[in-house]
Structure 1
Amino acid sequence: MEVTYRNKQKETLITYGETVSSMMRKKDLADKQILFCGNQRYYDLYAEKLRQFIPKTSSHEWFITPNNRYCNTMETFQELIRFLDRFGRQKETIFIGIGNEGVIELLGFTHHVTNFQAELCFLPVSLRSFAQSLSFADQIVSDKTLMTVMEIEEAPQSILFDHTLADQQTTGKMVDLLTLIRCGIICDYPFLQSLYGNFPTREALLQQSFSAFSETLINYYQLYSEELRDFGKPFEKAFFQTENGSLLSNSMKTMFGLLFELAWNVSANNLHFNFKNFVIWLVRLGFPIVMPEGISMADYGQQVIALAQEKPLAELIQIGEVGMKKVPTQKELLQTFEVYQKIVTEIRGE
């Protein structure tokens, strides 16, 4: 299926509901120089498959990024710029990003700032990287702190999304579900309730396909891409600034970031929402809910406030409706963490 997607006065052509093979066969790759950008894992999985679609009249190179979410660092960006020296400026060029959110951001940013007249195409391999490609916002982050160094808006000419790639993941599929949960929290409470009904257990989550949610994601991001991209981010990024934050994997930082921003909204704004049942659902799905003891929640809260002062958080009027921007207070956050810890203790039966 093809759809023209519009966001921030820019547009792109999205193809979904097809395999990578069928979508690549339709692309005009003749007489081009092609840059594939992806990490080692996706190179190993797809390099041979993609090579068969490249005509003899074309050349191609792979730029291999680090194997992590935040591969869109200043160092990797500089390496990619140097790598592009091997490409001529006269021949038609296609930049193809295949992989996670970091690859999407890295290549989108590079495409924006270089003087190549290149076509930009994304092949996201997960629901969350598909969501990133819909945001049209690309960052380069600091190598050490992962704080934003530079940010631009860039729309690709095309996005090719094969949902079967996302369905093949296990841990990745759990993190993808957070992308859908975020849509429910920001845009549509009944949608959040439907996720609860569709994925009551971890087994149900791993067995079912996300194919039915591609159109839903496109529609929500067309209307609320900025709010969806930002929700949970300050709480996630604060872990990188907090001592012993490395005890949490990047995926766990993402999960706790969303969880704590939701918890803060429920607590500070006294929202009508059964947060405890929500956490119980996450436990059933296999998410870890216990914070490592080595992380000081007081210090973590201060980092959240520092980030929110730079970019205030969107308050929830109710689940599914966003209101004004706000900076959390230390008192609100400490109360939020206390309530959260009490819920975790009750759930674990301690």
Structure 2
Amino acid sequence: MIRIGLLGFGTVGSATYEILAEQEASLRDCLGQDITVEKILVRDLAKYETTAAYPLMTTDIAEIINDPSINVLIELTGSIEGIIEPLKQGLASGKHLITANKALLAKHMEELIALASRHNVGLRYEATVAGAIPIISNLEEIIALNQVNSLSGVLNGTCNYLLSRMEEGLDYAEALREAQDLGFSEADPSSDVEGYDTMYKLRILSTLAFKRPVLESEISCTGITGVTGAEIQEALAAGKRIKLVGQATLVDGKVTATVQPTLVDRCSTLGGLDGGENAVIVDTSNAGELIFSGLGAGGRPTAFAVLSDLIHLFARPMGS
């Protein structure tokens, strides 16, 4: 039986719990075994007193990490400090780990991969990059049969939304205020608008694609706070749009990686994206140019990616 410790019950955590319940029979058929959520980590129990999942909830992560019956941790807290050591303890005790925490993975990627390998458990992180788009699992297959020459993408829905609204005449402050009112942006938008969120995702993709560590310190990062309405209108007049693009290229064994506002053709793959849409373009030695696009954020799209990792960990062979 698959016994899950769910760490976090916010937008993505609650959506993951709901989809597990809704698709219980389908997942059982796919995986050949039952799935149960044993415990759920939350910050404030009182907030969830009226929810059906309340009896499973705890504020003590040690209850989950030290529970020998739990064999999978699904980490959706968004935290780094206070969560990394328990996660390492969980891996060392034989628990698989699925995470959507891009900032944590970007800072501890090599350490967590090595620890999972040492203890023969799975580390899956599809949901750290591009929401519902299965870019990680596809890259794992791509790199087995190709050299990746370059990858580029629009990886942050908040920046996409802000730039689209600025095209319609809003200034940056107005667009940001609207995005916050609609829930598209955090109260503190700095990780998104300064480019750090895209940098974390590019670091994860590049490290996987090029089969070598590409560290945050190696990525030149510029956000969108300096983009003016005049620049956006000039781009439109020239048949182009400004997008925050993460790009990494391998030349003569060296990786060059940047995050920066970039002019793209309006009719191009990246130029056609709006709102929460993401896209990643991968140039390969044998398969040529491959394009992956879809919803890059949101509770259910991200929960889909989380649970696709569960399937990757436990799916039985076809025909069995």
After TM superposition, is the score higher than 0.5? no
In the superposition, the TM-score normalised over structure 2's length comes to: 0.32
Q: Which has the higher helix share?
A: 1
Task: Work out which structure has the larger RCO, using CA pairs closer than 8 Å and 6 or more positions apart in sequence.
Answer: 2
Give the TM-score normalised by the residue count of structure 1.
0.30
